[in-house]
């Protein structure tokens, strides 16, 4: 594969990649002119796979077991030189413009993305904030170790010290953007990616994951979910927050109720009280 493959798939020079590590139902991806990108050994080694592969061109595919979908983000950053807007979602998780319905007909498409970022002048599309009553740091301990967060803090202090205050605010807070899904202008995507991988590559040098479980070893994917909020906060990024729909899970009544209260603004009011946050 060469870079002309990317260019020929551009619509209004918007390239949205669907990250996958397995074969999946491509209906949503193809109908919206999104670009499937395969990560991990199973698909990248398959000769029959017709997806873009993250082990081509400039890549870190060999780090996939530790970086998860970030190996796709790295590939997009380094190799997509054609798009004005670029971003990524997942083979089963997509952004929805509906506040309540789980119907696939409300999933965002390229015209919606273009209108949101260009006409309405948002800087980026991200997932709705996820809140934890335990706080960001304690919630992270479900999948990783506090020492790794401390190492990340030391790295930020060393190479991006102006971000340290924002890192502390996020890590001592109660919200974040979970999922490693981001759509933004090519300029901001590249700026964020450089900042992110500068930090993660340095953290990687200081952490031995050889004794980590398979889940714990996905450390850099987990850390990056926390760092996205840091970057957004520090750079005053104007974000459009959207629900994420999981197309492989059946709708749940509890989620429908939650979404209904979100639409009415009740959830926002409750969060302000519980988390003492202004301007949600």
Q: Which CATH architecture has domain 4-249?
A: Alpha-Beta Complex (3.90)
In angstroms, rounded to a whole number, what is the distance separating the alpha carbons of residues 145 and 166? Answer: 20
Q: What residue ranges do the domains of the chain occupy?
A: 4-249
Residues in Cβ contact with 38 at an 8 Å cutoff, skipping those fewer than 6 apart: 20, 21, 44, 46, 49, 51, 52, 53, 54
CB burial class (10 A; 0-12, 13-18, 19+) of residue 217?
A: middle
pLDDT tens, per residue, the chain with 280 residues: 556 666 655 557 999 999 999 989 899 998 999 999 999 988 888 766 789 999 999 999 999 999 999 999 999 999 999 999 999 999 999 999 998 888 899 999 999 999 999 999 999 999 999 998 889 999 999 999 999 999 999 999 999 999 999 999 999 999 999 999 999 999 999 999 999 999 999 999 999 999 999 999 999 999 999 999 999 999 999 999 999 999 987 655 445 555 445 544 455 555 555 555 544 3
């Amino acid at each position: 594969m060469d870079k002309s493959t990317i260019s020929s798939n551009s619509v209004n020079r918007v390239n949205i990649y669907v990250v996958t590590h397995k074969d999946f139902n491509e209906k949503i991806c193809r109908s919206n002119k999104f670009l499937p990108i395969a990560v991990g050994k199973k698909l990248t080694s398959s000769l029959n796979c017709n997806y873009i592969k993250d082990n081509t061109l400039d890549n870190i595919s060999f780090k996939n077991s530790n970086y998860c979908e970030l190996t796709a983000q790295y590939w997009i950053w380094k190799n997509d030189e054609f798009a004005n807007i670029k971003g990524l979602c997942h083979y089963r998780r997509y952004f929805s413009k509906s506040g309540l319905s789980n119907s696939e007909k409300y999933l965002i498409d390229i015209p919606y993305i273009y209108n949101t970022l260009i006409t309405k002048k948002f800087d980026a599309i991200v997932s709705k904030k996820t809140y934890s009553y335990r706080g960001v740091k304690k919630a992270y301990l479900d999948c990783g170790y506090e020492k790794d967060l401390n190492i990340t803090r030391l790295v930020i202090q060393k190479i991006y010290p102006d971000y340290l205050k924002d890192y502390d605010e996020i890590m001592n807070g109660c919200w974040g953007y979970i999922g490693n899904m981001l759509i933004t202008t090519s300029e901001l995507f590249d700026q964020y990616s450089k900042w992110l991988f500068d930090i993660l590559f340095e953290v990687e040098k200081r952490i031995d994951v050889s004794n980590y479980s398979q889940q714990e070893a996905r450390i850099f994917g987990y850390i990056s979910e926390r760092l996205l909020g840091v970057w957004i906060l520090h750079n005053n990024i104007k974000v459009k927050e959207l629900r994420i729909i999981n197309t492989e899970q059946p709708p749940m009544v509890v989620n429908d109720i939650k979404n209904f209260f979100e639409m009415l603004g009740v959830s926002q009011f409750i969060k302000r009280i519980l988390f003492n946050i202004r301007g949600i």
